[in-house]
Amino acid sequence: MLLDSAIVDVGASNVEEFIKQMGQFDGSHEEFDCFVVPVVSEKKQQIDSANTIETLAALGVPAHKIRVVFNKVELEDASDVSRLFSTIFGLHADKKCFTLKPNAVVFRNDIFERLLAFQKSVSDIVADTTDYRTMLREAGDEDAKAHAVSMISAQRLAKSAQKNLDDVYQALFTQGERNGK
């Protein structure tokens, strides 16, 4: 409540306790501008996400504040999101208790697995201006070459991921809002 803006990431293992606490503090959901629920295509996880959405709605969170992100989607499945996430699309068709943006899709990208080893964010890697091509050409040993190749690859993956994440943000928070939707 003391912050002007914040992003609160509630992990799947903590969501039940978080929602329980919100239920005890009537109106606490009003402290949040938006609830973003990431959903993966596996059926059990879709059911868990649908339950989270319905619980948020039952707490009084309005549909325009609950938004879904379709996560870890293969690029070749981009046109099949409604089938892959049929549980979520069915819930929306039935109850309309959340905002559905079918193009809010985070594609699977190897950079997300690599970030931990790099101890950097996607934007850190994108912003890295090191000339790894020159480093590769001038490398004196195999380790230096492998590092340069790894970083060239990471930068390319990160640029793709950054564009994708920017597109998802646009889909979730700007498309239609200018028109009052």
Q: pLDDT digits over 62-118, tens only?
A: 999 999 999 999 999 999 999 999 999 999 999 999 999 999 999 999 999 999 899
What tokens appear for 15 in the block? Answer: 């969501």
Output the pLDDT for position 98.
97
Output the pLDDT for position 180.
39
Q: Is residue 68 within 8 Å of residue 104, measured between CB atoms? A: yes
Output the pLDDT for position 3.
72
Output the pLDDT for position 26.
74
What tokens appear for 9 in the block? Answer: 């990431």
Summarised one tens digit per residue, pLDDT across range 13-59 is: 667 777 777 777 777 677 778 889 999 999 999 999 999 999 899 88
Mean pLDDT of 133-137: 95
Q: Is residue 69 within 8 Å of residue 37, measured between CB atoms? A: yes
Q: Is residue 64 within 8 Å of residue 34, measured between CB atoms? A: no
pLDDT at 178 over 50: no
Mean pLDDT of 107-136: 95
Q: How far apart are CA 22 and CA 16, in angstroms?
A: 10
Q: What is the pTM of this model?
A: 0.84
Q: How far apart are CA 46 and CA 132, in angstroms?
A: 41
| CA-based nearest residue to 37, from 51, 23, 58 | 51
Q: Is the dihedral of CA 55, 59, 60, 62 positive or negative?
A: negative
Give 180 or 99, the one with higher predicted confidence: 99
pLDDT-based confidence at residue 181 (cuts at 50, 70, 90): very low
Residues paired with 66 in a beta bridge: 35
| DSSP at 108 | P
